[in-house]
A = this chain, B = another copy of it.
Amino acid sequence: MRKNRCLYFPFQINEPMREELDKIRMQEALQLAQKGVGTTSPNPPVGAVIYAGDRLIGQGYHEKAGEAHAERRAIQDAIRRGNGGFLNGATLYVTLEPCSSRGKTPPCTEAILEAGIARVVYGMQDPDKRHRGRAKALLEAEGIHVCVGIEETACKAFLRPWVHSVETGLPWVTAKVACTLDGRLARKNERWISCTESLKFAHELRLQSDAILVGGATVRADNPALTIRTPFSDVPPCKQQPWRIVLTRDRTSLPNDIKLFTDSFSSRTIVYECVESLSEMLFKLHEGYGIVRLMLECGGSLLRHFLEQGLVQEWFQDIAPVISGGTSLVVPGDFLPRELHLREVMIQQAGVDYILRGIVDKFRS
């Protein structure tokens, strides 16, 4: 059943103007996609908006694996708002290529065809070679205008962790460290090195993570909860507490009464004993638990192992303006066999601290 694909446009516009409009709307879709970060794994966070001419008629984002994708939610939203009549001929903007095969939910391309959408604009192609470009071919065969690559850089940067997990089969690993100016992990007689604002920021990072990994030494020393909690942050209803992964040489060295074993999220604690290959363990965490974003909150010794094996993709460092002379961020030793270099570095202030963030550019030997 091929519908009339007559396109709405706000007014007579030329190509450069249309592209500008497309970009603005893709940014809106990206903003919606942000809401899904931390709750969609192993699926990607995706956002979508639908415009009939210059009117926004529906919007949505993917919230949780197994539930409707962003495209379907935007169409449902249009209908719910009483805009169903405008779907025929409308333009759908979505941050990622729509799915074209049946997963837990029916393919989005089907929903697009049924709704009578006349033009589909998406930010980036599906990184999976089996699906890449299929939606374009399928939709164009049905007479739909398809435009690919609007705000592609932004969409790709946003989905970097998920793309990494699709391409490598491993979670995207973020090292989160807090240290003094001299790279020390602790301050004398103080539990936290960070100021309150920094701790809030750390909880925001936990919100975006599917799992948090620490070593047995950290568990024994600090008895951490590794949960997202007040007063630092609120947990949205659709967000489960992150998985809490403990690496230890000897499981019996962990006391039975630690928070990770006794609090109400104890089913979210996973202990690995005598891990021989970190990358194999990461692979299992992705495959078995659908973990896409994993955050390291471990000490300097375990961190060195991850660094030595080139398994860190992103670096967050909370810098307290203090020189303490204590325990090192990365345990002292030889130079790392491969130095880690950051790019896209950003610094922001958080209270008296500074938070530096960068993407691992390369490991240089």
Please list 9 pairs of residues, one from A and one from B, whose beta carbons are closer than 8 Å in the complex, sorted by A's number: A181-B356, A182-B329, A183-B183, A183-B329, A319-B356, A321-B345, A328-B332, A345-B354, A354-B356
Query: What B residues does A339 contact at CB under 8 A?
Result: 187-188, 322-325
- Does B325 contact A336, Cβ atoms closer than 8 Å? yes
Query: What B residues does A325 contact at CB under 8 A?
Result: 304, 307, 330, 333-336, 339
Query: What B residues does A184 contact at CB under 8 A?
Result: 183, 330
- Does B323 contact A181, Cβ atoms closer than 8 Å? no
CA distance A328 to B321 in the complex (A): 17
- Does B183 contact A181, Cβ atoms closer than 8 Å? yes
Query: What B residues does A187 contact at CB under 8 A?
Result: 335, 339
- Does B181 contact A315, Cβ atoms closer than 8 Å? yes
CA distance A343 to B351 in the complex (A): 12
A106 to chain B, nearest CB (A): 45
Residue A149 CB within 8 A of the other chain: no
Count of A interface residues, CB-CB < 8 Å: 39
A34 to chain B, nearest CB (A): 25
CA distance A188 to B364 in the complex (A): 10
- Does A335 contact B342, Cβ atoms closer than 8 Å? no
Residue A169 CB within 8 A of the other chain: no
- Does B183 contact A358, Cβ atoms closer than 8 Å? no
CA distance A321 to B323 in the complex (A): 19
Which partner residue on chain B sits nearest A300 by CB separation? B182
Query: What B residues does A345 contact at CB under 8 A?
Result: 321, 352, 354
- Does B315 contact A341, Cβ atoms closer than 8 Å? no
If the complex has contacts A323-B315, A345-B321, A345-B352, are A183 and B340 also in contact, measured as CB distance less than 8 A?
no
Query: What B residues does A321 contact at CB under 8 A?
Result: 341-343, 345, 356, 358
CA distance A179 to B328 in the complex (A): 13
- Does B322 contact A341, Cβ atoms closer than 8 Å? yes
Residue A317 CB within 8 A of the other chain: yes
A322 in complex: contacting residue of B180, B186, B323, B342, CB < 8 Å: B342
CA distance A103 to B179 in the complex (A): 49
Residue A326 CB within 8 A of the other chain: yes
Residue A24 CB within 8 A of the other chain: no
- Does A183 contact B179, Cβ atoms closer than 8 Å? yes
- Does A335 contact B330, Cβ atoms closer than 8 Å? no
Most chain B CB atoms below 10 A, which of A181, A325, A335, A347: A325
Query: What B residues does A322 contact at CB under 8 A?
Result: 339-342
CA distance A322 to B317 in the complex (A): 12
CA distance A4 to B290 in the complex (A): 88
